[in-house]
Structure 1
Amino acid sequence: MAYPKIMLVDDTRLILELEKSFLKLSHVDIVTAGNGAEALELIRKDPPDLIFMDMHMPVMDGVACCAELKADPFLCGIPVVMLTTAGKEEDRERAKLAGCDNFLTKPLDRRLFLDLARKYTDAVERREPRIPCHLPALFLQGKTPVGGVVLDIGDGGVFVATRERLLLHQKLRLALYLQGERPRLLELKGWVAWLNEEGKRVHNSLPVGFGMEFLELGEEETAVLKSFLAALRPEEPPAS
């Protein structure tokens, strides 16, 4: 059975890898392009079922690409979600005039990304919600170890409370001490997906810190993480 195809268009490799990580549990085929011209060539050969497209790219930007798609009677029905810069209303107006079907602002939020993808194809698997916790953590800032506290955790990432200043998209390694019957120190690779900065909160319910998306989880790390998450989740009451 053929899976629905989702196209990701962005000139930044890290963004493409992040979007692909969002979809790794979904039964979809993924194709990527680095600009609008490349995307158009691929779309005309084999049209996808859904497109996530960055607005600002070299060669051909997302607005021009979307306008060409929507002007083509054979391709105009493909939903296009345009990635725009937060707070730039003029970007949304340009994208709307080009005919895009929806918007998503950067920095990307996994939940919003998957909710939008799910709107256009039910083959997308939305991740289980993050689980509140209170875990000591350690990460390197340069060569200096810095402490923090993980306040929620899921199979795709964590939120780390810390006043250490980090950069968006910064890659790092995070060491977590997982408590339980078999305590375990778990080291995870990831990157800073979003920042909760003083006076500029993405999530007002959380303190200053950063959201980290996991990258390149090995089989052992994945198994340990899943086991730990299963132990954290509250048991469902028996059916009456």
Structure 2
Amino acid sequence: MQPTILLVDDLQMFLEIERDFFRHADVKIVTARDGVEALEAVQSYSPRVVFMDLQMPNMDGASCCKAIRATQSHGDTPVVIISSSTSEADREESFAAGCNYFLTKPAGRDRFLEIAREFIPDIDRREKRVPCCLPATLSCNGVSAPCALHDLGVEGAYLVTDLIAKAGNVIHVSFTLPDGTAVDTPCKAVWIDESGKTRPRGIGVRFALLPKPLRGALARALEKL
């Protein structure tokens, strides 16, 4: 069953922009125009995560978040509150209401997906990933440490590591495929999972500058893993 994401905003333009962020994701998108509709949608669709505007008519985002937290069946639903204001008071109000994250408009696609991946790990995956357990070495900010590949694809991998990195960091990873092919390549950190809730703590990376012969070796190895 597809996981559901609930998008809440009183302006259709922002709903369409946010919906487009998830156009490649295997998720069901549900929308609401205010907190009252959002609360009904949470009860009806049990979304895996809610992205909700703060300033809305009828019931604002903070009030809706409080109402969600007060429900027995959906009180732990992740809520991301989004505001066009940079007011510290709005941020404090949102976190006091129980939101998981607070974003300031305009927030881009990468940030939306980074947060969504915490609750839906496979979101926006356009390539096949194969579970594996291959030893590797990761270098970031001048620090090298052993790690392990949790899954692997032609375009990237998920690295199990306690090494600290940020989305957007350029890192370096080295590992050896089962057929003996050595892979030594720069990568871009595209998301970080520090929670360890759905998989071990680690970093999702996208390979960069991978030569065509190595891409071919990866594709062949994936067929056998």
Q: Post-superposition shift, 1:8?
A: 0.2
8 Å CA contact 1:104, 1:113 repeated in 2: no
Amino acid at match of 2:47: P
* Residue 236, structure 1, aligned to residue 196, structure 2: no
Q: What is the DSSP-based 3-state SS (H/G/I as helix, E as strand, rest coil) of the residue aligned with 1:238? A: helix
Q: 1:61 to 1:127 in 2, by over 3 A?
A: farther
8 Å CA contact 2:4, 2:45 repeated in 1: no
1:1-240 alignment to 2 at 5 Å?
A: 2-125=1-124, 236=211, 238-239=213-214
Q: Post-superposition shift, 1:44?
A: 1.6
- Between the aligned partners of 1:82 and 1:123, the Cα distance in structure 2 is 22
Provide the aligned length of Structure 1 versus Structure 2: 135
8 Å CA contact 2:62, 2:93 repeated in 1: yes
8 Å CA contact 1:28, 1:123 repeated in 2: no
Q: Post-superposition shift, 1:122?
A: 1.4
- Between the aligned partners of 2:64 and 2:209, the Cα distance in structure 1 is 47
1:69-120 per-position Cα deviation (integer Å, ceiling 9, x unaligned) = 0111211111001102352111110001100111121012111111111111
Q: Post-superposition shift, 1:126?
A: 6.6
TM-score of the two chains, using structure 2 as the length reference: 0.56
Q: Post-superposition shift, 1:10?
A: 0.3
- Between the aligned partners of 2:105 and 2:33, the Cα distance in structure 1 is 17
- Between the aligned partners of 1:22 and 1:236, the Cα distance in structure 2 is 29
8 Å CA contact 1:111, 1:126 repeated in 2: no
Fraction of identical pairs, as percent = 41
Q: Post-superposition shift, 1:127?
A: 8.5
- Between the aligned partners of 1:116 and 1:92, the Cα distance in structure 2 is 17
Q: What is the DSSP-based 3-state SS (H/G/I as helix, E as strand, rest coil) of the residue aligned with 2:111? A: helix
Tell me, which stretches of 5 or more residues in structure 2 are unaligned?
128-207, 218-225
1:121-154 per-position Cα deviation (integer Å, ceiling 9, x unaligned) = 11321789xxxxxxxxxxxxxxxxxxxxxxxxxx
Q: 1:46 to 1:86 in 2, by over 3 A?
A: same
Instruction: After the TM superposition, list the runs of 4 or more consecutive aligned residues in structure 1 that deviate by more than 4 angstroms.
Output: none
- Between the aligned partners of 1:108 and 1:126, the Cα distance in structure 2 is 21
Amino acid at match of 1:95: S
8 Å CA contact 1:10, 1:35 repeated in 2: yes
